[in-house]
């Protein structure tokens, strides 16, 4: 068999940007494509919080990469973790020792949770950048209600019924609203010894308003709706420490067993392997064509790329990433066919944040601001259209309809995790108070202003 001499395009990462590039290139005969990802599925990040609050099943928001690219006969999918990128040799190396050569490379590895210099907080305050993260959050939330049901001591019961969400961007706002609806609408009839209406939900934001990427009017609207949902909103508040049994906001100690993280993201560490220029946030600075300066064969897209347009940075949103992926793919095809490449131009179609049932805020084309029921309807419609796969769209639509009519949550399963084993091995949760756990760490770090960076 003769070797395939078509230009080889390697795409690292199958998020929004990488998958869009793969789908466009997969329709062509003049290139061959390899998609590399350490997970076998594409994750619809904007709805992960609904998995975390038992509103959706994981399979509703995740699609197998191979299934999505089934009809792309020129495309291979490799399940592997990238350990190095050799630009001189045009090689992508895997952690298992294997490697793949490329003629053109698209790096689309996205972002990870940013704990602002406190990686140890991840153990106590899980984020939501993966299905595993969402399931961990769901596990801790449901387990908290179960432990509160069994707890005889009133103080410890209140601690189990207190939920602290750190970060007032879209993730934190949406998570807080969904958690409130779970406690006040979905769970009350299911417990015998606790009143889930008494659940205390606290949303902490380091800036002076929620949703800093939105207008002040929409931010104020979101705050009012959250407060109507009985959520305590703490603005201009800094986190100083987190442990098993409390979160510390300056000198204030809040007893809680459930802390959830939504305070922003940092770029994937894979960007450092490219040895290109990076900004203060760690994003790779690219040319207007989304290539690495000095290396037109390497494209960086999505959250990993620092892209400026008209003096402002392109936001870290799913539509922006998708547009970058398509732009990179088109430029590769232009280069392959001897045509000049074109600079990337981002079209801002708008963005939305849902707060609760029938309540959302957002803007269309950055000009028309909407809120309330109409914003919620637009949000739901757009998300259904952007979901990958017909089955997922149908499943989510009918699940939402069922939940809208009944207020019930369909995915209230507590699955095993090392965190759960740790609590179980301690005997009855809360007994650790006798050992002195939960005090302010002696070497408490400087206060951390937690607020949401641009995120998906």
Question: Which is the catalytic residue, given 20, 174, 205, 245?
Answer: 174
Is there a contact between 222 and 173 (Cβ–Cβ < 8 Å)? yes
Distance (Å, rounded) from C-alpha 361 to C-alpha 177? 13
To the query of whether residue 76 is one of the catalytic residues in this protein, the response is: no
Buried-exposed string 5-22: b where 16+ CB fall within 10 A, e elsewhere: eebbbbbbbbbbbbbbbb
Beta bridge mates, 246: 255
Catalytic residue positions, numbered? 174
């Amino acid at each position: 068999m003769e070797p395939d001499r078509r230009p080889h395009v390697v795409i690292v990462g199958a998020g929004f940007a990488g998958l869009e590039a793969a789908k466009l290139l997969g329709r062509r005969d003049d290139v061959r494509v390899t998609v590399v990802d350490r997970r076998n599925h594409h994750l619809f990040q904007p709805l992960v919080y609904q998995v975390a609050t038992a509103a959706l099943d994981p399979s509703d928001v995740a699609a197998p990469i191979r299934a999505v690219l089934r009809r792309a006969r020129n495309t291979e999918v490799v399940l592997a973790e990238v350990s190095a990128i050799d630009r001189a040799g045009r090689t992508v190396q895997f952690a298992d020792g294997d490697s793949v050569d490329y003629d053109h490379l698209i790096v689309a590895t996205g972002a990870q949770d940013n704990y602002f210099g406190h990686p140890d907080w991840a153990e106590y305050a899980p984020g939501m950048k993966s299905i595993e993260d969402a399931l961990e959050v769901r596990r801790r939330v449901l387990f908290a209600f179960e432990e509160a049901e069994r707890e005889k001591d009133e103080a410890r019961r209140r601690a189990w019924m207190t939920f602290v969400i750190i970060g007032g961007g879209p993730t934190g706002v949406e998570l807080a609203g969904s958690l409130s609806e779970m406690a006040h609408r979905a769970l009350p009839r299911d417990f015998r010894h606790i009143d889930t209406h008494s659940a205390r939900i606290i949303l902490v934001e380091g800036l002076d308003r929620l949703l800093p990427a939105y207008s002040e009017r929409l931010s104020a609207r979101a705050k009012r709706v959250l407060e109507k949902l009985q959520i305590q909103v703490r603005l201009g508040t800094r986190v100083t420490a987190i442990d098993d049994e409390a979160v510390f906001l300056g000198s204030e100690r809040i007893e809680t067993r459930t802390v959830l993280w939504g305070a922003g993201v940092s770029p994937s560490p894979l960007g450092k392997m490219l040895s290109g220029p990076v900004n203060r946030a760690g994003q790779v600075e690219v040319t207007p064509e989304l290539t690495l300066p000095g290396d037109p064969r390497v494209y960086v897209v999505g959250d990993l790329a620092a892209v400026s347009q008209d003096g402002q940075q392109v936001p870290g949103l799913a539509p922006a990433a998708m547009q970058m992926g398509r732009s990179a793919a088109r430029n590769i095809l232009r280069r392959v066919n001897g045509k000049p490449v074109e600079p990337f131009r981002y079209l801002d179609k708008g963005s939305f944040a849902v707060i609760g049932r029938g309540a959302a805020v957002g803007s269309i084309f950055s000009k028309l601001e909407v809120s309330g029921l109409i914003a919620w309807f637009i949000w739901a419609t757009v998300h259904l259209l952007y979901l990958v796969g017909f089955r997922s769209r149908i499943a989510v639509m009918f699940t939402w309809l069922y939940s809208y009519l009944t207020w019930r949550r369909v995915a209230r399963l507590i699955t095993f995790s090392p965190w759960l084993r740790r609590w179980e091995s301690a005997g009855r949760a809360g007994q650790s108070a006798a050992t002195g756990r939960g005090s302010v760490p002696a070497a408490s770090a400087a206060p951390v202003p937690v607020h949401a960076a641009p995120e998906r």
